[in-house]
Structure 1
Amino acid sequence: MDPHTSAQNVMRCDLCETAVVQMHCDTCLVNLCKACVGVHMVSDESKKHEIVRFQFRKSTLIYPVCKFHQKERCEMYCNQCDIQVCSTCNASRNHSGHNILQMTNVYNARKEEIEKEIEELEQNIFPTYQNIASDVQNRMSQLEKEYGDLSTAITKHGEDWHREIDKLVKKLKAEVDEMKTKHYDALKTHKDEINQKITDISDEIQASSKLLELNDISLFLEFNTNIQEFTNLPAKVYKTLPHFTPIQYQPEQLMELFGTLSSLSLNSDEHGYKMKKSPEAGSSPPVKQLLDEPETVTTIDTGYVYLYNVACLSDEEIWTSGDDNTMELYSINQGSVLKSITTKSGEIPYDITVTKSGDLVYTDYYDRTVNIVKNEKIEELIRLQNWNSRGVCSTSSGDLLVIMDSDDKKQTKVVRYSGSTEKQTIQFDDKGKPLYSSGVYDRYITENRNLDICVSDSGAKAVVVVNQAGKLRFRYTGHTPAPENKPFNPRGITTDSQSHILTADDKNECVHIIDQDGQFLHYIDCGLKNPEGLCTDTNDNLFVAQYGNIQMMKIKYLQ
């Protein structure tokens, strides 16, 4: 059988082009099988061949060229002079009696120091800054309410003042009306008295005029006029008008009476934040080698028309979802359904994952929600606005990573949630360009053991990997030749204890295995039919959801 056209395509020896690659020459950058190592060693005896296992390729140290002896490499380090030295330098008088160290020891010590620094940054410092950012964001979110309450208190106090002033104005105006009435009544009485006098005078004039028309002397002698009464004019009525005397005040006096607002005080406390303490780091997982030929352990038939997703609950139980609104829990050993959950909206779940506490989480694309199933009851965890949820995964820290696209299908982003609280958004690279494709394409997400965030982006025909901070690390766009020689079309994605990234390729009907730096390692075929969803259990067994034949396949691919 021609290994280059076989369904199971793996890396082959560069010499014999037949056997599977097992070793690598770091000096010549040549891939080798074990049988060809000797042949390669004697092919050019002028070189010092550094033969390592394939997974440890590029591990040979490259010593710097000596500044003073260009043909020699510096394999030593002078501690006193703090410089790199070659064997000739070491033999000179310049370094006589100095503490000369092996460069490998210096390198290993510095490497260990850097690794510890990276571990401290990743496990303590970076999470601490994330928590600080979350704390600041929460306090920023509270500002609207707190300052709103302050404005409301001032407005209410002003309204209280307005009510009291309105009462006072009404009282004073009532007193003015009362005084005006009294004043008017007094003048009216005085006018009535004057009018009565005018009537009396008119009568007196009329009576005197009639007497003058008569010639009766006795009447003249008997007539007495009242002119004296009328010549005594009535007293003039004076009323002093009331007047309003407003209290004069300065604006600052009114402020003192109304109430004062304290000044804003922004203080900092260098001891206010505490460094996040991470749990004791566990021992590194044992190194496992890839099998030359992956093995199918078991196959489970499902009742879906199309099977899309799988998520391990344990090494014995696995959740599945497909083309209907149910999610079913299967017994891996028995191949039978243990439990069935129907989505709250009645829509098809887009993706599923299992949390550290064993709860099922699913995304509902059309309902714009992320939901959690606890004790067989569905709780809405997150409801999106103007975005639709696609892939979801539960992280080692207990957070949820959700990849989503906008309503207009022009934007795609990854959002980290702690419960229902948004903690981080990943959308653009350092140059402000989108990390992910836009449009109606399938996208799935997972977290690697090194905390990288890995997205299979079918729109970009790539696996896009960013670090925990959201900085782009690499894009994997497939490996040629692929089993079916078709363009790479990534679907489901998962990782294992070795920090391998595995992604389904439905067009080539295989699973790609790449290392944590994006280097292709292996294809898994095993007769797959349109592989879609992927997950691994604690023993690094791979589970594949195949929508081509609605079967779930368990595959062993590591020793």
Structure 2
Amino acid sequence: MFGPLSSLSIKTENHGFIMKTPETVSCPQVKSLLDEPELIASIDTRYNYLHSVTCLRDEEIWTGGYDNIMKLYNLQGELLKSIQTKSRKVPYDIAVTKSGDLVHTDGDTRTVNIVKGKEIEELIRLQGWKPINICSTSSGELLVTMDSDDDKQSKVVRYSGFTEKQSIQFDDHGKPLYSSGDLKCISENRNLDICVADNRDKAVVVVNPAGKLLFRYTGHPSANKKSFDPVCITTDSQSQILTVDGDNNCIHILDQDGLFLRYIDICDLKYPFGLCVDTKDNLFVAEQMSGKVKKIKYM
């Protein structure tokens, strides 16, 4: 499983372990997964602990770590911009809106904030809940995962600007969809499904746009030497779901129905965490401990 970085490999399996509902639909493939992924670039962000990466453009990435400074880099590793959080607290998560603005969650102040030029404006302030992870949707809305102040409840909330439009918390049987008190990275799929990497529950949880559970994915034995450890999630133009498996140092690729397709075994990648895909389906993976973001071509 381990080897030089140049020998990146994808391994193929035929079955995943999922629960589906009839609403799940398939999408024809337009691009194929490469047999041999290619490492395109490695960007040193100089964070001691890197946890977030998100694409501003195909050639520029915003990054966040255990630091109150958020940094914008080009793919040559040049620092283009840095901005300190308004509260001077570490940002829990970052995302780029459809209009190109940087947003970040601040669990300590219970706010979602947006960067406008050199200024940071408070967009959302919560009461009784703290925002954890965030993503921007194709329609320009925001999806935010959040935990209650007592860490006993968790939900996903959709916002249009500062207005709450939807809350997703329970399945059809009244059971919580998500665990509380830990990371719940979120991404909207191309087919508008909402995908959450629920780290405490060790599952990828996918609901349709109405909030109805479609499936839960809990890992695949071929990829897992240790238990499945989903820490981040993203999706691509083919409606494929990619999730970082931190403890196993690999990335699982699922189709939109939750079927395990392959995993990317990035041999020299250790402690992967943040994840995003650009408009050309290049994958960006943030390494926690080295502070590097690695750009990988996988399709």
| Common fold by TM > 0.5 | yes
Q: Is the 8 A contact 2:8 2:38 kept in 1?
A: no
1:374 to 116, 119, 142: 116
Task: Please report how far the alpha carbon of residue 285 of structure 1 lies from its aligned counterpart in structure 2 after TM superposition.
Answer: 9.6
Q: TM-score normalised to the size of structure 1?
A: 0.49
Counterpart-to-counterpart distance in 1, 2:58 and 2:288: 22
Residue 465 (structure 1) aligned with residue 216 (structure 2): no
Q: Is the 8 A contact 1:531 1:545 kept in 2?
A: yes
What secondary structure, in the 3-state scheme, does the structure 2 residue paired with 1:346 have? coil
Partner of 2:104: 362
Matches of residues 28-427 of structure 1 in structure 2 within 5 Å? 287-332=30-75, 334-427=76-169
Q: Is the 8 A contact 1:436 1:460 kept in 2?
A: yes
Task: Please report how far the alpha carbon of residue 524 of structure 1 lies from its aligned counterpart in structure 2 after TM superposition.
Answer: 1.2
Task: Please report how far the alpha carbon of residue 522 of structure 1 lies from its aligned counterpart in structure 2 after TM superposition.
Answer: 1.1
Counterpart-to-counterpart distance in 2, 1:351 and 1:436: 18
Which structure has the highest strand share of the two?
2
Which structure has the highest helix share of the two?
1
1:544 to 285, 295, 298: 285
Partner of 1:10: 11
Task: Please report how far the alpha carbon of residue 443 of structure 1 lies from its aligned counterpart in structure 2 after TM superposition.
Answer: 1.2
- Let me know the Cα RMSD of the aligned residues: 2.1
Structure 2 gaps of 5+ residues are 16-24
Counterpart-to-counterpart distance in 1, 2:87 and 2:163: 22
Q: Is the 8 A contact 2:92 2:106 kept in 1?
A: yes
Structure 1 residue runs of 4 or more that deviate by more than 6 Å after TM superposition = none
After superposition, the Cα gap between the structure-2 partners of 1:336 and 1:7, relative to the gap in structure 1 and judged at 3 Å, is: closer
Residue 522 (structure 1) aligned with residue 262 (structure 2): yes
What secondary structure, in the 3-state scheme, does the structure 2 residue paired with 1:416 have? strand
Partner of 1:474: 215
Q: Is the 8 A contact 2:203 2:217 kept in 1?
A: yes
After superposition, the Cα gap between the structure-2 partners of 1:325 and 1:285, relative to the gap in structure 1 and judged at 3 Å, is: farther
After superposition, give the CA deviation of every residue in 1:396-424 in whole Å (9 maximum; x if it has no partner): 11110000000110000000000000010
Aligned residues between the structures: 285
Residue type of the alignment partner of 1:307: L
Task: Please report how far the alpha carbon of residue 8 of structure 1 lies from its aligned counterpart in structure 2 after TM superposition.
Answer: 3.9
Kindly, what percent of the aligned residue pairs are identical? Answer: 65
Counterpart-to-counterpart distance in 2, 1:336 and 1:525: 28
Q: Is the 8 A contact 2:194 2:209 kept in 1?
A: yes
Counterpart-to-counterpart distance in 1, 2:90 and 2:165: 27
After superposition, give the CA deviation of every residue in 1:53-108 in whole Å (9 maximum; x if it has no partner): x9xxxxxxxxxxxxxxxxxxxxxxxxxxxxxxxxxxxxxxxxxxxxxxxxxxxxxx
Counterpart-to-counterpart distance in 2, 1:9 and 1:361: 33
Residue 432 (structure 1) aligned with residue 178 (structure 2): no
Counterpart-to-counterpart distance in 2, 1:305 and 1:412: 29
Counterpart-to-counterpart distance in 2, 1:486 and 1:9: 18
Counterpart-to-counterpart distance in 1, 2:219 and 2:89: 33
Task: Please report how far the alpha carbon of residue 9 of structure 1 lies from its aligned counterpart in structure 2 after TM superposition.
Answer: 5.5
1:491 to 218, 225, 231: 231
Residue type of the alignment partner of 2:12: M
Counterpart-to-counterpart distance in 2, 1:336 and 1:410: 42
After superposition, the Cα gap between the structure-2 partners of 1:510 and 1:326, relative to the gap in structure 1 and judged at 3 Å, is: same
Q: Is the 8 A contact 2:202 2:228 kept in 1?
A: yes
Q: Is the 8 A contact 1:9 1:482 kept in 2?
A: no
Counterpart-to-counterpart distance in 1, 2:102 and 2:215: 30
Partner of 1:505: 245
Task: Please report how far the alpha carbon of residue 376 of structure 1 lies from its aligned counterpart in structure 2 after TM superposition.
Answer: 2.0
Structure 1 gaps of 5+ residues are 13-30, 32-53, 55-117, 119-283
Q: Is the 8 A contact 2:244 2:250 kept in 1?
A: yes
After superposition, the Cα gap between the structure-2 partners of 1:454 and 1:286, relative to the gap in structure 1 and judged at 3 Å, is: closer
Q: TM-score normalised to the size of structure 2?
A: 0.91
Residue type of the alignment partner of 2:223: A
Q: Is the 8 A contact 1:505 1:530 kept in 2?
A: no
Task: Please report how far the alpha carbon of residue 451 of structure 1 lies from its aligned counterpart in structure 2 after TM superposition.
Answer: 0.2
Q: Is the 8 A contact 2:8 2:36 kept in 1?
A: no
Structure having the higher Rg: 1
Q: Is the 8 A contact 1:285 1:497 kept in 2?
A: no
Counterpart-to-counterpart distance in 1, 2:252 and 2:28: 22
Counterpart-to-counterpart distance in 1, 2:212 and 2:172: 7
